[in-house]
Structure 1
Amino acid sequence: MDPLCGGTRAARLTAQGKLAAAWTYNPLGILATFAAAAAALRLTVGLIARRWLNLQIHWNPRMRWAALALVVFALTLLEIRQQGRADLLTKPY
Structure 2
Amino acid sequence: MILPIRAYGDPVLRKNCKDITPAYPELKTLIDNMFETKYDAHGIGLAAPQIGLDIRLFVIEIRPLAEDEDYLDIADKLKDFKKVFINARILEES
TM-score by length of 2: 0.29
TM-score by length of 1: 0.29
Bigger helix share: 1
Bigger strand share: 2
